Amino acid sequence: MVRNSDIRLEFNLFADIWTTYKSLLPVGLRDDEAYWDKAVKDTSAIMDKYPGQLAKDLALAILGDLERRCVEIEDQNAGF
């Protein structure tokens, strides 16, 4: 059975994930070290704040999506 405290924790996790994801848009270029350092720092903070597999999966999904978008942008700029 799911407890109210679990639901509140998951709600807060998703709220923090969304806030973090939104703060990292627009995506930085691959050589923008400050942007990627911030992305790693912010997603690591999520994993520290919410220990567990769900937080890890969501944080890594954010990084994966940002990387995918970065590659797409660079490919478009290169004419691919």
pLDDT for res 67:
96
How would DSSP label each residue in 23-67?
HTPSPPPTT-HHHHHHHHHHHHHHHHHS-SHHHHHHHHHHHHHHH
Average of pLDDT values for 19-46? 97
| Nearest-angstrom CA–CA distance, 79 and 10 | 42
pLDDT for res 77:
86
Q: Which two tokens stand for residue 79?
A: 């004419």
Rounded mean pLDDT of the chain? Answer: 94
